[in-house]
Amino acid sequence: MTKRILVVEDNDLNRKLFCDVLTASGFAVEPVADGNVAIERARSFIPNLVVMDIQLQEVSGLDLIASLKKDSILADVPVLAVTAYAGKGDEERIREVGAEGYLAKPVSIGPFMAAVKGLVGQ
């Protein structure tokens, strides 16, 4: 069965890049530009993985991860946090709210796909 990935990224170029790479690798992808609809979209799409930008314009990616982890339907869905926040303590803080994976931007395709495949069990 095709694995489903929800991509929550407000930067158009980054979102397109992530979606194109994931689609080319055989994943079913659902792009989300607005963090305010991410949880609702996740509930309807039921992803196997959420790729989450931390610096969203309307809402914090950290808050969205916490909301996903509190949701009875989505709590077990792994989250790969992708962020330009790469300062001391940032990864720890991101993992504390529930993200299973963490990558600092700019993201290289090789490490991105390795992280994705590791989290979806491929």
Contact 5/117 with Cβ under 8 angstroms? no
Confidence tier at 24 by pLDDT (50, 70, 90): very high
Q: What is the pLDDT of residues 76-107, one digit of tens each?
A: 999 999 998 777 788 999 999 999 999 999 99
Domain ranges of the chain: 4-120
SS3 21: helix
User: Does 122 have pLDDT greater than 90?
Assistant: no
Torsion angle of C-alpha atoms 82, 87, 91, 97, degrees rounded to 10:
-90
CATH ID of 4-120, from 2.60.120.10, 3.40.50.2300, 3.90.1150.50, 3.40.140.10: 3.40.50.2300
Residue-averaged pLDDT of the chain: 95
Task: Read off the pTM.
Answer: 0.96
Report how far residue 109's alpha carbon sits from residue 111's, in angstroms, rounded to the nearest whole number.
6
